């Protein structure tokens, strides 16, 4: 077939939410979405959460939930209108012609089936292969997606695989029936940067070998830049702009696209290091978790989550603690809050030793050291109003005593973090992710701390919101002289926020120094590999 005819053609697709009891009017979620994908081409569908990216992909697969209705448009695969097919015919399209991979490999694989069973199931169902041939085919697939020692891993269960390997298995399942179109819905968002890079390379080589059309759904402009041939920018259910990647990054047409591109890190400006006296001194701390065995629960050994790290944070300074998941950075943060017992080492805060204090003696310090968590959806009690959430810390630490003062402070706080007084009596679920993170910041700042431990505060947020939250954190730092320990796995945001950087791996610090020095002249090989896997920004005109 002629490579000029598009593989997938979506024309004027519109989706609405059907009216329900509480909403008499149908709500339009997607309007006149049109795009096409050719063979061997990657189209990146970019947008923030709620923009309709995933809806589009589900509509193509005809997997929309019942409350959503496709009210207009056509989807053609190889010239065949998918909306005109019967459900049975559609079943043979799913998996065989169009395959899908998801964001979360953890939950997309069945934990009680082996790798072979899961891949084999698809093959046996769609291609009717049995016995030895099936095993051979599975091994070939696993090798194709780059799983080492594929034959030995056939009998492995998902929990024995790493996150990246699980995603590879997911891709193998998707490719099993040799589809023409692959829909990848945020395939790398849940993975560490170095793994992300490998998975993206795998997808890229697969589409070349198999002449595969890929619809890549993402919110990460770095990924778009590294992977895609063409880009479609989506917002609030509309496609704002469609262009070739090069021209898109050189000359974005839409204001919103420009903002998205701008969210990529700028590695030319760095924050100057602070000269203030040190506030927190961490000296060779260790946090070990006991591994217990047998009936008597005897301690058989230790997991050394944090194995001797030292750093200092000065007043008004931000130290970024960088590392991939499982390296012990969150545990280190918890140890500073006296939530994990130390196996060794010392922590000094404003010159005084704090690691030996009891929970009770630590209480005055709770006012001075605060914390902001990663997930703005689990960090606030869903059953408490904003008023109760903000007041809790202030009342517990006796920052404000009479109700009037409390009220005044809460209003001032909301204003400070860019929310309104009317928000006081709402509940967390009524806010967006960015607003919730602002609330979490307000809650932490409420007790006027000196140090805030920020545990990946922006990694659950969309790019545009991420830069707003980082801006807010920076403003608060200047205003109140705060120090931050900024725990993150995302190197791209470090220039925006950190004065100094410490790189952590397997419980120890490999390298630390001023941001500029670490990012431009990394000493350690691991730091270099981390930096190399961050998608390169493009110098915009």
Partner 1 sequence: MIKPVVLWSDVLIFILVAFMAAFFWHLRSRPLTLKRWRSVFHSHTGVASFVVILFYLLIAVTDSLHYRLPLDKIEGSDDVHYSQDVRSLLDDILHDLNSLDETTYSEPFSLYSFAKINMQDDSGGVYRDYPRLASAGSHLQTEEDIHADIVQRSVWGLALGLMISLLIIVPHWLWRRRYAAQSSVPWVTAYLTLAALICLSAWALLLGQVYHIFGTNQVGGDVLYQSIKAIRTGVLIGTLATLLTLPLAVVLGISAGYFRGWVDDVVQYIYTTLNSIPGILLIAASVLLIDVYIETHPDDFQLVAVRADFKFLALCFILGMTSWTGLCRLLRAETLKVSQLDYVHAAQAFGVSHARIIFRHIMPNVMHLILISLVLDFSVFVLAEAVLSYIGVGVDPSMNSWGNMINEARAELSRDPVVWWSVSAAFALMFVLVLAANLFSDRVRDAFDPRFH
Residue ranges that bind partner 1, judged by CB under 8 A: 334, 337, 339, 362-363, 366-367, 369-371, 373-375, 378-385, 388, 392-393, 396-397, 425, 427, 429, 440, 443, 447
The rounded distance, in Å, linking the Cα atoms of 340 and 338 is 6
- Which segments of 350-498 are extended strands (E)? 352-353, 369-372, 451-455, 483-488
For partner 1, give the closer residue by CB, 303 or 378: 378
Min CB(441)–partner 1 separation in Å: 12
For partner 1, give the closer residue by CB, 157 or 427: 427
- Which segments of 220-259 are extended strands (E)? 230-235, 238-244
Per-residue tokens: 453: 């431990």
Min CB(357)–partner 1 separation in Å: 12
For partner 1, give the closer residue by CB, 224 or 440: 440
For partner 1, give the closer residue by CB, 93 or 424: 424
Q: Is 64 helix (H, G, I), strand (E, B) or coil?
A: coil
Number of alpha carbons in the 13 Å side-chain half-sphere of residue 462: 19
* Residues 541, 247 contacting (CB under 8 angstroms): no
Min CB(346)–partner 1 separation in Å: 21
Min CB(501)–partner 1 separation in Å: 24
Min CB(170)–partner 1 separation in Å: 27
The rounded distance, in Å, linking the Cα atoms of 399 and 405 is 10
Locus of tokens 């085919």: 137
For partner 1, give the closer residue by CB, 78 or 392: 392
For partner 1, give the closer residue by CB, 321 or 440: 440
For partner 1, give the closer residue by CB, 92 or 378: 378
Per-residue tokens: 96: 């065989």
For partner 1, give the closer residue by CB, 118 or 437: 437
Min CB(363)–partner 1 separation in Å: 4
The rounded distance, in Å, linking the Cα atoms of 98 and 57 is 10
Min CB(367)–partner 1 separation in Å: 8
For partner 1, give the closer residue by CB, 208 or 363: 363
Quick one: DSSP state of residue 274? P
For partner 1, give the closer residue by CB, 44 or 365: 365
For partner 1, give the closer residue by CB, 205 or 381: 381
Strand 68-77 versus strand 80-81 pairing type: antiparallel
Q: Is 537 helix (H, G, I), strand (E, B) or coil?
A: coil
Min CB(260)–partner 1 separation in Å: 29
For partner 1, give the closer residue by CB, 207 or 367: 367
Strand order through the sheet with 213-218: 98-101, 181-185, 213-218, 42-46, 230-235, 238-244
Quick one: DSSP state of residue 109? S
Locus of tokens 């896997």: 533
- Which segments of 78-180 are extended strands (E)? 80-81, 98-101
For partner 1, give the closer residue by CB, 399 or 508: 399
Locus of tokens 């065989």: 96
Axis crossing angle, helix 163-175 with helix 193-210, rounded to the nearest 10: 20
Min CB(258)–partner 1 separation in Å: 34
Q: How many other CB atoms are there within 10 angstroms of residue 258's CB atom?
A: 12
Strand order through the sheet with 369-372: 369-372, 451-455, 483-488, 318-322, 500-505, 508-514
The rounded distance, in Å, linking the Cα atoms of 501 and 273 is 11
Per-residue tokens: 502: 């410490």
The CA angle 7-12-14, to the nearest 5 degrees, is 115
* Residues 159, 169 contacting (CB under 8 angstroms): no
- Which segments of 38-119 are extended strands (E)? 42-46, 68-77, 80-81, 98-101
Q: How many other CB atoms are there within 10 angstroms of residue 256's CB atom?
A: 18
Q: Which residues contact 35 (CB under 8 A, 6 or more apart)?
A: 10, 43, 45, 232, 239, 242
Min CB(427)–partner 1 separation in Å: 8
Q: How many other CB atoms are there within 10 angstroms of residue 427's CB atom?
A: 15
Say how far residue 209 (Cα) sits from the centre of its chain: 29
Min CB(17)–partner 1 separation in Å: 16
Min CB(256)–partner 1 separation in Å: 29
Min CB(373)–partner 1 separation in Å: 4
Q: Give the CA dihedral 93, 94, 95, 100, nearest 10 degrees.
A: 130
Min CB(116)–partner 1 separation in Å: 33
For partner 1, give the closer residue by CB, 257 or 330: 330
């Amino acid at each position: 077939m002629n490579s000029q005819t598009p593989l997938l053609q979506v024309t004027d697709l519109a989706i609405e939410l059907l009216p329900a009891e509480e909403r008499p009017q149908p709500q339009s979620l997607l309007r006149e979405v049109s795009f096409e994908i050719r063979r061997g081409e990657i189209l990146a569908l970019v947008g923030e959460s709620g923009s309709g990216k995933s809806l589009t992909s589900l509509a193509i697969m005809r997997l929309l939930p019942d409350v959503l209705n496709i009210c207009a448009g056509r989807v053609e695969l190889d010239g065949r209108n998918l909306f005109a097919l019967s459900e049975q015919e559609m079943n043979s399209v799913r998996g065989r012609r169009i395959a899908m991979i998801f964001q979360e490999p953890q939950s997309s694989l069945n934990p009680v089936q082996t790798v072979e069973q899961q891949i084999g199931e698809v093959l046996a169902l769609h291609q009717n292969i049995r016995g030895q041939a099936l095993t051979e085919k599975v091994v070939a697939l696993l090798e194709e997606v780059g799983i080492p020692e594929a034959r030995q891993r056939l009998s492995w269960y998902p929990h024995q695989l790493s996150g990246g390997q699980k995603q590879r298995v997911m891709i193998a399942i998707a490719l099993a029936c040799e589809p023409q179109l692959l829909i990848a819905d945020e395939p790398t968002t849940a993975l560490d940067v170095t793994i992300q890079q490998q998975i993206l390379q795998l997808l890229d080589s697969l589409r070349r070998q198999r002449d595969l059309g890929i619809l890549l759904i993402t919110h990460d402009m770095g990924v778009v830049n590294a992977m895609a041939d063409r880009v479609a920018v989506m917002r609030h259910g509309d496609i704002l702009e469609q262009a070739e990647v090069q021209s898109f990054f050189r000359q974005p047409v839409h204001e919103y696209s420009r903002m998205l591109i701008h969210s990529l890190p700028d590695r030319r400006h760095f924050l100057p290091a602070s000269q203030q006296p040190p506030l927190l001194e961490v000296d060779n701390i260790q946090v070990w978790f006991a591994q217990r065995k047998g009936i008597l629960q005897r301690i058989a050994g230790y997991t050394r989550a944090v194995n001797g790290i030292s750093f200092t944070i000065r007043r008004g300074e931000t130290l970024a603690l960088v590392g991939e998941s499982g390296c012990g950075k969150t545990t280190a943060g918890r140890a500073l809050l006296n939530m994990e017992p130390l196996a060794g080492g010392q922590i000094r805060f404003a010159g005084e030793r704090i690691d030996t204090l009891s929970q009770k003696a630590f209480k005055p310090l709770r006012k001075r050291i605060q914390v902001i968590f990663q997930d703005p959806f689990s960090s606030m009690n869903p059953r408490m109003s904003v008023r109760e959430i903000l007041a809790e810390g202030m009342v517990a630490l006796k920052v404000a005593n009479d109700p009037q003062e409390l009220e005044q402070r809460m209003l001032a706080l909301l204003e400070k973090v860019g929310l309104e007084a009317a928000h006081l009596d709402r509940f967390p679920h009524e806010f967006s992710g960015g607003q919730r993170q602002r609330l979490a910041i307000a809650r932490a700042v409420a007790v006027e701390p000196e140090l805030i431990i920020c545990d990946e505060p922006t990694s659950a947020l969309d790019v545009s919101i991420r830069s707003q939250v980082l801006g807010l954190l920076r403003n608060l730092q200047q205003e109140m002289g705060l120090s931050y320990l900024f725990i993150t796995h995302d190197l791209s945001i470090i220039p925006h926020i950190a004065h100094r950087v410490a790189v952590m791996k397997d419980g120890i610090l490999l390298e630390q120094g001023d941001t500029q020095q670490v990012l431009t002249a990394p000493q350690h090989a691991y730091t270099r590999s981390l930096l190399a896997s961050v998608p390169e920004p493009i110098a915009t005109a």
